[in-house]
Homo-oligomer: A and B are copies of this chain.
Amino acid sequence: MKLYDCKPAPNPRRVRMFLAEKGIDVPTEQVDLRNGQQFTPEFRAVNPQCVVPFLVLDDGTGIGESEAICRYFEEVHPEPALFGKDAKDKATVTMWQRRMSFDGFDAVGETFRNTTPAFKTRALSGPNFYDQIPELAERGMKRVKNFYRMLDDRLGASRFIAGDRFSIADITAFVAVDFSGWLKLAIPDELSNAKRWYGEVAARPSAKA
């Protein structure tokens, strides 16, 4: 088994944090995204989508997409459960995971990829190239602000995002918040519930993964 990783990038960090919470050690190989290693013929042969994280199982099966990789490890290593325990809990975690992903992580990514000069022709990750759209960067910033408000509301009612237990939704949101730091879009100080939660998650050993 091998996990293709890139230490500085936010998406693979989600998987590393998930593995750290589970106490699972997986051999990794670094892919140098900054220098375009994901577009080399060698890496395309591993993952034609040209992205990491990417997991290759012992039988050669490739699993892409952060959440899919995490779900694989949830199945083979169920404890601690990070996708919920019973039907209601699993659905609740999936709901929040989707919101943290779409309203949080993707919104930060939208701003980041539509402003950073290195992504001028690669405003979406993957094998197809798309030009940056400046209005989309602006929209992304509005979305991130709305995301923080939503996060704060939720965390006023609940210790963690999907309820009493830490879950993958917390990982996605936490990495999104750190990712937004690249854009100097930190959580505003007045959002005390979100700040309380951020401090709590940042103190977990997995936050260093």
On A, residues with C-beta under 8 Å from B are 55, 57, 61, 63-65, 67-69, 71-72, 75-76, 86-88, 90-92, 94-95, 98-99, 103, 124, 126, 128, 130-131, 133, 135-136, 139, 142-143, 146
> Measured between alpha carbons, how far is A71 from B71 in the docked complex, in Å?
13
Cβ contacts A to B, 14 pairs, < 8 Å: A57-B88, A63-B88, A63-B91, A63-B92, A63-B95, A65-B94, A68-B94, A68-B98, A72-B87, A75-B86, A75-B90, A128-B146, A130-B143, A133-B135
List the B residue with the shortest CB-CB distance to A48. Answer: B153
**When chains A and B are docked, how far (Å) is the Cα of A124 from the Cα of B102?**
11
Specify how many copies of this chain sit in the oligomer.
Answer: 2
A94 with B71: CB separation less than 8 A: yes
A99–B55 Cα distance when bound, in Å, is 16
Q: Does B76 contact A61, Cβ atoms closer than 8 Å?
A: no
